Amino acid sequence: MSLERGQFSSKIGFILAAAGSAVGLGNLVAFPVAATKNGGGAFLLMYAIFVVAICLPLMIAELSLGRNTCRNPFGAFKELSNNSPIWKFFGMFMMITPFMIGVFYTVVTVWIVGYLFEIVTGNLDVLSQAETFGQFINSPDVFLYMAIVFAMVKLILVGGVKDGIERLAKFLMPALFVLLIALMVYVLTLENAFLGVKYYLIPDISKITLPVISGALSQAFFSLSLGMGILITYGSYLRKQDDISKSAFSVAMTDSGVAFLAGLMILPAIFSFNPETDTSQLTSSSVGMIFVFLPKIFLALQADIGYFGASLIAGIFFILVLFAAITSLVSIIEVPVAGFIDNRGYPRDKALLIVGELMAALTVIAALSFGMSQFFTEFVSYAGKVKSFFDILENVFYDTILPINGLIVCIFVMYRWKQANFNAEMETGGEGIARTWMQKYVNISLMTFIPVILALVAISTIALKFFGVNLLA
Ligand code: PFF
């Protein structure tokens, strides 16, 4: 059965594709700002510990589930639980999550394409005005850019695993590294750049509070694309001779390395624009940062390098963000596509068509929910606030369900699939890990404290997002 499914052709192909999924808006913008606001070096250290101690074991578990079954999340849960209805329900849950996050992420990718187009056509000055973003997201142009994004994703995914996803990652990921380093080097030469580096790196332990700790864990979890079914699906395309734990380690390091370097690009840029920046006032929303704040900073460069030079730097930045977003977007859309291929036996293009149509309908609704349609803009109200359709996607699927899915994976792997089977899969292609302290750590942590921590994160997030109660304050 696995023969008809796609497979990555090499270990590096897999690592680049999985890193492509992991490296996204979370790394390029949210991480640097979160680190600066929340204790600089102290945050970085804590984040690194979370990546290695909590996220890495989970990543190994997700990849092992996928590779063992050669299935999407639903198929994996179904097969390893002998058709248990309750596990099939959870498996379904893990298919709906990526689908809905895909809708959310498509909307943001559409805006990136739109901004890139505006920069290339000489409109950086317009983009840097405060009111532009609100007008842009409510203009009919977004539907044109949406069609472009869907066409791009379709073009990539129709090629399948090796000729679509892997080929794209092998080209875009190295390009992303080069652009990131080039921009970082340029930004570091700006006046007052080192003030930003200082703020980014100097540890301030007093900022490490309970909400900051929980936020750092959620950030690491999200950044590594955990709990989204992506790593189960990509694991299902991994060759038996590849070492799961070493590959997971490389993906986690690449993702964290990119996040770290992004800080050395974003913070110096902010401080060279305004050496007096009060970091506590910086927005922690990636969207606000990318579409409102950064265009202003890029435009200010015109004093030194002229309007064309400033537009060039802005253009490079938006291309970088677009590359990061596209490799993440294809990874998340691949999950439901794999679901239709595995579970219904559909050919890839038919599966893509169905997923594409369903997603397009919901993405249009999400795009209408910033003001174009009052019904979707004021869709419901909870925690004392009116919420749009887009807000719900963010609160339910981004904020809340990811740690719950992580919890489900821990319990399923350790208590239903069982430790011995999990270890056997980990050792396939990675014999060296057998009976090491590392393997013992992965087993014990997934059985004990990782599910407890994820349950606590989920409970506190639900209390905060849906009932307005801050349990961590
Ligand atoms: N790791 C991705 C990021 O940091 O942006 C998370 C992600 C989000 C992956 C959305 C895929 C996706 F569609």
pLDDT score for 397: 87
Instruction: List the single range of 47-56, 288-297, 345-354 with lowest mean pLDDT.
Output: 288-297
Closest ligand 1 atom number to CA of residue 333: 13
Q: Is the CB of 18 under 6 A from ligand 1?
A: no
Answer whether residue 2 shows pLDDT above 80: no
Could you tell me what percent of the chain has a pLDDT over 70?
Answer: 99
Query: Residues of 322-340 as b/e, b for ≥16 C-beta within 10 angstroms?
Result: bbbbbbbbbbbbbbbbbbb
pLDDT of residue 333: 96
Q: How far is the CA of 83 from the centre of ligand 1 (A)?
A: 30
The confidence score (pLDDT) of residue 473 equals 77
Band of residue 3 on the pLDDT scale cut at 50, 70, 90: very low
Q: Which are the contacts of 431, defined by CB distance < 8 A and separation ≥ 6?
A: none
- pLDDT for 132 beyond 80: yes
Going along the chain from its start, the domains and CATH numbers come out as 11-371 (1.10.4160.10)
pLDDT band at 282 (very low <50, low <70, confident <90, very high): confident
Residue 263 pLDDT exceeds 50? yes
Candidate from 101, 330, 405 with most ligand 1 atoms within 8 A of CB, to mutate? 101
The 10s digit of each residue's pLDDT in 69-91 is: 999 999 999 999 999 999 999 99
Distance 254 CA to ligand 1 centre (A): 14
Indicate which residue's Cα is closest to atom 9 of ligand 1: 328
pLDDT band at 4 (very low <50, low <70, confident <90, very high): low
CB 331 near ligand 1, within 6 Å: yes
Distance 235 CA to ligand 1 centre (A): 17
State if residue 26 touches ligand 1 by the CB under 6 angstroms criterion.
yes
> What is the average pLDDT across 375-401?
91
Residue 386 three-state SS: strand
Of residues 283 and 215, more confidently modeled: 215
Predicted model pTM? 0.94
- d(CA 450, CA 458) in angstroms, rounded, equals 12
| pLDDT of res. 388 | 95
Tokens of 197: 């580096």
Does 101 contact ligand 1 (Cβ within 6 A)?
yes
Task: Read off the DSSP letter of residue 208.
Answer: -
Ligand 1 contact via 332 beta carbon (within 6 Å): yes
How confident is the model over 328-356, as a mean pLDDT?
96
Whether the per-residue pLDDT at 1 is higher than 80: the answer is: no
CA of 226 to the centre of ligand 1 (A): 9
d(CA 60, CA 64): 6
